[in-house]
Amino acid sequence: MYQSLGIDENIFRIGESTAAALADRFAEIDRTAEICQMKVVAAMQKNRVSTECFESSTGYGYNDLGRDTLEAVYADVFHTESALVRAQITCGTHALSLAMAANLRPGDEILSPVGKPYDTLEQVIGIVPAPGSLREFGITYRQVELLPDNSFDYDGIRAAINEHTKLIEIQRSKGYLTRPTFSVAQIGELISFIKGIKPDVICMVDNCYGEFVETIEPSDVGADLVVGSLIKNPGGGLAPIGGYIAGKSEYVEQCAYRLTSPGLGREVGASLGVSRSFYQGLFLAPTVVASALKGAVFAANLYEPLGFPCVPNATEERHDIIQAVTLGSAERVVAFCKGIQAGSPVDSYVTPEPWAMPGYHSDVIMAAGAFYQGSSIELSADGPIEPPYAVYFQGGLTWAHAKFGILMSLQKLKEAGLLPGKG
């Protein structure tokens, strides 16, 4: 079967031996998934999810049982006071922008204690000028770089917090950087330190790509808000759109008023037929995330022995589903992404090319033969065409498909003569 799909025998055998050596790692991932699965089931049972919750609403969406119940389920899954889970939140960047704009006022300041945020947030904040940025509304921003060993600069953070600091933005995942992703425990230590300096500051965690990777979430260790996208981990590959914001009621309510209108808030917002997908996607999410994690671990163990630096490396513990592989040249990044595209169930015949994607400061190549556009819990890979020429692989609704996609990326590198040595 693999040969018929374009994988040569040598690469297949390397893949088989690599996967066989990972049995213990995969068993550990499955144990985490089991705990997270029970957490989701418990939240659904507690909130009496019923078939009536899958009914659609239109127009204003008043009294939408499914929408309101789902938000209660999310609040219980994340152990928060409240949650906003809406199809009207279009993506992770939108959810983060919403959370910040809703809870900040002119004269307030955002502080990132983990260095540069993800590229698409630069225009939201106003680091890069853009119409409607927070900067245009008199909201300022500063950041504290990580130390050379990628640890938090606690002295620098203490010095940066001032009377205007209203919101701390903590990006859990690495984005287009080759730093490690932060564990929930590390985030908890950071929040505890910050709250010790300024107890009333809002600590918001960009949780994208991190949900269900560990048995606890940032909201379990002091985060006031956790924010993410439903076309990543918590949507389980079934949510066609949407985002979530979970946290303290006062901050979530501000988000609801910002999303709709003052005076309306969370009372409006039709579900438009997506409720069943949101519920079933959340139910499947722990297992889907486990498949993506297995793919990431497999990729590191396949590419690192070939001399390509990986973050996380082949043996490190995982805190998100992203696998960064530094390939060292634009040609290799393109070949890798061509392999992921060729291994996809949708648009496998398409050739991805770098382009000036909105929100990014350099050309970006993205490979994804996804059932939903931009769904990065599905098999996908992307990266900026700039040094150090790293590609970021994530997703895989099933382990078997993640494995195949990674093997195909290696196949394309080999066919292009871009593997080290003899390949």
Confidence of residue 357 (pLDDT cuts 50, 70, 90): confident
pTM for the full predicted model: 0.95
- What pLDDT score does 179 carry? 86
Residue 153 in this model has a pLDDT that exceeds 60: yes
Residue at which a domain ends, from 262, 282, 302: 282
* Sign, CA torsion 402/403/405/409: positive
Q: What is the pLDDT of residue 128?
A: 92
Spatial separation of the C-alpha atoms in residues 142 and 112, rounded to whole Å = 7
Q: Are residues 258 and 363 in the same domain?
A: no
For the stretch 43-69, pLDDT in tens is: 999 999 999 999 999 999 999 999 999
pLDDT > 70 in the chain, percent: 99
Among 266, 282, 298, where does a domain finish?
282
Lowest-pLDDT range of 173-187, 307-321, 328-342: 173-187
User: Do 152 and 195 belong together in one domain?
Assistant: yes
In a domain, 221, yes or no: yes
Q: Stretch 17-23: mean pLDDT, rounded?
A: 98
Q: Answer with the one of 282, 300, 329 that is the final residue of a domain.
A: 282
Cβ distance 125 to 110 under 8 Å? yes
Is the sign of the CA dihedral 57, 58, 63, 67 positive or negative? positive
Q: What is the pLDDT of residues 183-220, one digit of tens each?
A: 999 999 999 999 999 999 999 999 999 999 999 999 99
- Summarised one tens digit per residue, pLDDT across range 262-318 is 999 999 999 999 999 999 999 999 999 999 999 999 999 999 999 999 999 999 999
Q: What is the mean pLDDT of the chain?
A: 96
Q: Within this chain, do residues 174 and 77 fall inside the same structural domain, yes or no?
A: yes
Please compute the mean of the pLDDT values over residues 343-364 and round it to a whole number: 89
Residue that is written with structure tokens 């770098």 in the block:
354
Within this chain, do residues 86 and 181 fall inside the same structural domain, yes or no? yes
Which range, of 11-25, 73-87, 170-184, averages the lowest pLDDT? 170-184
Flag whether 423 is in a domain. Answer: no
Residue 4 lies in a domain: no
Percent above pLDDT 90 for the chain: 95
| 216 and 105 co-located in one domain | yes
Lowest mean pLDDT among 48-52, 356-360, 362-366, 385-389: 356-360
Within-domain flag for 386: yes
* CATH code of the domain covering residue 348: 3.90.1150.60
- Place 423 in a pLDDT band, splitting at 50, 70 and 90: very low
Q: Domain of residue 348: give its range.
A: 9-36+285-415
368, 388: one domain: yes
Does 358 share its domain with 261? no
CATH for 183: 3.40.640.10
Number of domains in the chain: 2
| Mean pLDDT on 239-258 | 98
Query: Is 47 domain-assigned?
Result: no
**Strand (E) positions, 211-337?**
225-229, 243-247, 310-311, 323-326
Give Rg (Cα) of the chain: 21
pLDDT at 236 over 60: yes
Q: Are residues 141 and 209 in the same domain?
A: yes
Q: At what angle do helices 399-415 and 9-20 cross, to 10 degrees?
A: 140
Q: Are 172 and 207 in contact (CB under 8 A)?
A: yes
